[in-house]
């Protein structure tokens, strides 16, 4: 699944207008990020990306980009030690 498609699906899970999420958003600042959204994200990752992730792994994520990497989403940027982003 592409990054854009995964973000669109996450928008839907969170009840946000399509195109709202881009990656740097902090999960704690998303009003609709809750345990139901967490489970739906895991189901999305497993069914669309064949990613096997646990709730404990998701809880360690602080941003939407962290979730993308965890879910194995294509084109998810990685953060280098210098703090700049690169495409994976």
Collapsing DSSP to helix, strand or coil, 87 comes out as strand
The single residue listed with the structure tokens 């928008």 is 11
Domain ranges of the chain: 3-87
Beta bridge partners of 78: 86
Asked whether the CA dihedral 36, 42, 23, 63 is positive or negative, the reply is positive
4-35 pLDDT, tens digit per residue, is 999 999 999 999 999 999 999 999 999 999 99
Q: What is the pTM of this model?
A: 0.81
Q: Which residue has the tokens 């139901």?
A: 36
Q: Write down the pLDDT at residue 74.
A: 75
Fold classified for 3-87? 1.10.1200
pLDDT of residue 82: 42
34: region left, alpha or beta (phi > 0 left; psi from -120 to 50 alpha): beta
What the block records as the tokens of 32 is 């609709």
């Amino acid at each position: 699944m592409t990054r854009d498609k995964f973000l669109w699906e996450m928008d839907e899970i969170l009840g946000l207008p399509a195109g709202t999420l881009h990656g740097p958003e902090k999960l704690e600042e998303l009003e609709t990020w809750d345990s139901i959204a967490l489970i739906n994200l895991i189901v999305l990752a497993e069914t669309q990306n064949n990613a096997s992730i646990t709730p404990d792994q998701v809880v360690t994520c602080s941003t939407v980009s962290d979730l993308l990497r965890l879910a194995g989403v294509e084109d998810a940027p990685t953060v280098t030690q210098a703090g700049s982003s690169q495409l994976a």
